[in-house]
């Protein structure tokens, strides 16, 4: 989709984009800089306050398209999610092989515990719901609706993959805790996050701005990780459901998206 803009409109879009991006990044990194603890405070600072500011900047336009083309959004949502997830897995395996070639001890970094999943089963059930209600909707609104959508306008007639790649890189760097947890090995997680972001950008773009489907897929993808902790007597269920979700996406991607 091409955007014909005057110089004044481009400056206004860039200014609005810069403010929104700064707010999102400050909200995310404030938990590391100021040591913010607690789910309530973290949710307010990382999600609610930035989302309110984004809404004031351009949120009405973003939300007005959130229900667009639900049927095609399902097709493109699962299709692009599956295709880019498969690409992310392949890229992760390649990076893993390269890392092991240079440092055979890289496996020790990958085995570092993730505090996000060192929680009780009861809290894990809550986090599963939190993934659907907060993480999926808020992150898709901010990163696909605003960061990707506004970047499309700023970059004008460039192919959607260009702003998608840039916004997906920005999406990856908010997951700073992977670098703190896994060091050099975190390049594997960052590569997969970028691929996931590209999939969601494709779904958002091809459906004309639908946010419902990307938010659901995002929430479901994160929720399967917490399911591993929520059901300790069957810790593989979450992994199995995540694999099923990806396989459904790959099937839809090959038959409904790539095939066309």
Q: For 131-148, what is each residue's pLDDT tens digit?
A: 999 999 999 999 999 999
Return d(Cα 201, Cα 177) in angstroms, integer.
23
For the segment 101-127, what is each residue's pLDDT rounded down to a tens digit?
A: 988 888 888 888 888 888 899 999 999
Q: How far apart are CA 173 and CA 194, in angstroms?
A: 9
Q: What percent of the chain has pLDDT over 90?
A: 67
pLDDT band at 3 (very low <50, low <70, confident <90, very high): low
What is the extent of the structural domain holding 121?
7-258
Among residues 246, 207, 210, the alpha carbon closest in space to that of 225 is found at 246
In a domain, 2, yes or no: no
Residue 156 pLDDT class (50, 70, 90 cuts): confident
Is residue 106, in this structure, part of any structural domain at all?
yes
**Residue 156 domain flag:** yes
Q: Using 50, 70 and 90 to split pLDDT, how confident is the model at 2?
A: very low
Among the residues of the chain, which ranges form H helices? 7-33, 39-43, 49-54, 60-64, 70-102, 106-110, 121-130, 136-139, 149-155, 161-173, 177-182, 186-206, 212-230, 236-252
Residue 240 lies in a domain: yes
Q: In this structure, is residue 1 part of a structural domain? A: no
181-200 average pLDDT score = 93
Domain count, the chain: 1
Task: Tell me if 247 is assigned to some domain.
Answer: yes
In the chain, what percentage of residues exceed pLDDT 70?
94
Q: Determine, yes or no, domain membership for 163.
A: yes
Count Cα atoms within 13 angstroms, Cβ side, for 201: 28
Q: Does residue 128 fall inside a structural domain?
A: yes
Q: State yes or no: pLDDT of 1 exceeds 60.
A: no
């Amino acid at each position: 989709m091409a955007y014909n803009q005057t110089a004044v409109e481009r400056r206004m879009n860039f200014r609005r984009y810069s403010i929104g991006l700064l707010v999102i990044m400050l909200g995310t990194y404030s938990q590391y800089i100021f040591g913010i603890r607690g789910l309530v405070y973290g949710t307010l600072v990382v999600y609610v306050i930035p989302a309110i500011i984004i809404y004031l900047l351009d949120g009405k336009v973003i939300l007005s398209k959130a229900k667009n083309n639900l049927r095609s959004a399902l097709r493109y949502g699962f299709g692009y999610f599956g295709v880019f997830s498969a690409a992310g897995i392949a890229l992760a395996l390649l990076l893993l092989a390269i890392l092991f070639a240079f440092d055979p001890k890289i496996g020790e970094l990958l085995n570092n515990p993730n505090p996000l999943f060192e929680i009780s089963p009861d809290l894990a059930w809550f986090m599963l719901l939190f993934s659907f209600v907060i993480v999926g909707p808020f992150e898709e609104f901010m990163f696909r609706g605003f960061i990707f959508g506004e970047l499309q306008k700023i970059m004008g007639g460039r192919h959607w993959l260009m702003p998608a790649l840039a916004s997906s890189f920005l999406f990856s760097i908010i997951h700073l805790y992977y670098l703190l947890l896994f060091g050099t090995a975190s390049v594997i997680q960052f590569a997969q996050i970028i691929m996931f972001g590209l999939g969601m950008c494709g779904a958002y773009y091809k459906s004309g701005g639908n946010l419902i489907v990307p938010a659901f897929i995002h929430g479901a993808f994160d929720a399967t990780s917490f399911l591993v902790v929520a059901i300790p007597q069957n810790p593989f269920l979450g992994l199995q459901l995540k694999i099923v979700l990806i396989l459904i996406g790959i099937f839809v991607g090959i038959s409904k998206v790539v095939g066309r």
